[in-house]
Amino acid sequence: MRWKESTVLLLISPDGVEEAIDCAKAAEHLDIVDVKRPAEGSLGANFPWVIREIRDAVPADKPVSATVGDVPYKPGTVAQAALGAVVSGATYIKVGLYGCTTPEQATDVMSGVVRAVKEYRPDAFVVASGYADAHRIGCVNPLSLPDIARRSGSDAAMLDTAVKDGTRLFDHVPPDVCAEFVRLAHEADLLAALAGSVKTADLEALTRIGTDIVGVRGAVCEGGDRTTGRIQPHLVAAFRAEMDRHAGEQAAAVAAAS
């Protein structure tokens, strides 16, 4: 494994600088601050200056992630966008392979991203992101993501949901299929990240199947609303407490079985 913590990592996605400041107030409870722009899609890209401002707003020891967008099959365009994100201060670069209809197209896009990003900053972390509801938008199958990430030299494979209509990760890719996604990622020496309207009720399954990174927004917003609600530090703390509880229970179960 390229990089692995003993507990599941929590990635929180503020939609701007003000929410990032709220994340900073809960910094002890989260691991990665993710910069996106929900108005431009599930993995919508934010502006370079917003990435810089958020990087300045959160503690230096907290990695900043940035989405490059729900991208088309335009490898050169996407590579330039990814370079812009890392130049702006992000060290995790996430690419939503929205417009790639075959694994070959997706690998082509991600290979360009990896080269552009790692030539500038070798320690940057590249995430190939697909969609649990791929069948609704015609992009690559979720279970093809680990191999796409491996072949392109990426560091992680991720699943999110493309259409934010209230349906969730497990509505489209049930826990047993997510477990296969995680297994394939780990076999390829990758981290496995899962998101998509994740709730606290999903944490037992996400922990049990070995997820490395859990990405959330709505679950830590007031009213549970990712669009109109604002991230609340106390909700971040509560979500993290539930993550840690499930991690502890899973560790105890493994120890008892060994």
- The token pair at 176 is 């047993």
pLDDT score recorded for residue 15: 83
Nearest to 215 by CA among 3, 15, 10, 46: 10
| Residue 39 bridge partners (DSSP) | none
- pTM for this predicted structure: 0.93
| Residue 35 bridge partners (DSSP) | 66
User: Is the pLDDT assigned to residue 1 strictly greater than 60?
Assistant: no
Domain assignment of residue 51, given as a range: 9-257
**Alpha helix (H) ranges present in 33-165?**
48-57, 75-87, 103-120, 134-137, 145-152
- One DSSP character per residue, 18-29 reads HHHHHHHHTGGG
Mean pLDDT of 16-30: 92
pLDDT in tens, 216-235: 998 999 887 777 778 999 99
Tell me how far apart the alpha carbons of residues 87 and 84 are, in angstroms, rounded to a whole number. 5
Residue 3 lies in a domain: no
pLDDT score recorded for residue 117: 98
Residue 95 lies in a domain: yes
Q: Considering its fold, how many domains does the chain have in total?
A: 1
User: Is the pLDDT assigned to residue 5 strictly greater than 70?
Assistant: no
Query: pLDDT grade, residue 6 (50/70/90)?
Result: very low
Query: Measured in whole angstroms, how far is the alpha carbon of residue 122 from the centre of its chain?
Result: 20
pLDDT score recorded for residue 229: 79
- The token pair at 144 is 């093809």
pLDDT score recorded for residue 7: 75
Residue 2 lies in a domain: no
Residue 106 lies in a domain: yes
Which residues make Cβ contacts (< 8 Å) with residue 187, sequence separation at least 6? 146
- What mean pLDDT value characterizes the chain? 93
Residue 137 lies in a domain: yes
- CATH at residue 90: 3.20.20.70
pLDDT score recorded for residue 38: 86
pLDDT in tens, 170-184: 999 999 999 999 999
Tell me how far apart the alpha carbons of residues 129 and 95 are, in angstroms, rounded to a whole number. 6
Residue 8 sits at the vertex; the CA angle it makes with 7 and 14, to the nearest 5 degrees, is 135
Beta strands in the chain (DSSP E): 9-12, 32-35, 64-70, 92-96, 125-131, 156-160, 191-194, 213-216
Residue 31 lies in a domain: yes
Give CA separation, 157 vs 93, 195, 213, 214, 248, in Å: 12, 11, 10, 12, 25
Query: pLDDT grade, residue 52 (50/70/90)?
Result: very high
pLDDT score recorded for residue 2: 43
Tell me how far apart the alpha carbons of residues 110 and 31 are, in angstroms, rounded to a whole number. 24
Q: In the chain, count of helices (H) and strands (E)? A: 10, 8
Mean pLDDT of 25-42: 93
Tell me how far apart the alpha carbons of residues 145 and 171 are, in angstroms, rounded to a whole number. 18
Residue 85 lies in a domain: yes
- The residues annotated with a catalytic role in the active site are 36, 94
Give CA torsion, residues 241, 95, 123, 112, to 10 deg: 170
Query: Measured in whole angstroms, how far is the alpha carbon of residue 178 from the centre of its chain?
Result: 14
Residue 1 lies in a domain: no
pLDDT in tens, 236-258: 999 999 999 998 998 888 888 87
User: Is the pLDDT assigned to residue 3 strictly greater than 90?
Assistant: no
